[in-house]
Amino acid sequence: MSILPFFLLSSQNKGEKKKEKKRPGIAGHLLLSPPPPPPPHPHLLAVAGHLLLSPSRRLQEKEAELDAARRRTADLEERLRQASGEAQEWCGLARNNEAVSAAAPAQIADDDAQSCCFATKVACDGSEATSPTAKWSCKWCGEGDATVLLLPVATTTATPSLPSGCTAATGPHR
């Protein structure tokens, strides 16, 4: 009995059938097993490799995008914390300025009460001016109303007009 591959066995004359018993063992197994597949075409290997690598490559790209988004989110959260801190600082500064500006009129009134600029004037002879119009009186003599005379000249200057009886500015040196 000769051992022939299975494809030759099927091509034997149909009229000539040998009556052989299948023997258990290796030889019988080899006769019934299919031949090994032919080696795949290189193009098919490339396509199969691409199909197998494509999902993993896409997964890696998506993971890289996700990591970049996480980094961007962390950066934005840090900037948000900084901006929130700066906003709180500015709000505190604004509250402080509001408190200072609310207290300013009272402080100005206290300063005016303590100062002697508008309360009393010392006259030329040393006595105190006590009239309510004393703050508008002549600064040299403290008697008449102070007036200002404006003269139309190329450079506008203000010249004080002295009361008729005041000799403070028209003393002996004039």
106 in the same domain as 88:
yes
99 in the same domain as 53:
yes
- pLDDT digit string, tens, across residues 46-58: 888 777 777 778 8
- pLDDT digit string, tens, across residues 78-110: 999 999 999 999 999 999 999 998 888 888 888
User: pTM for this structure?
Assistant: 0.34
105 in the same domain as 75:
yes
Domain containing 137 equals 121-161
Facing residues of 159 across strands?
149
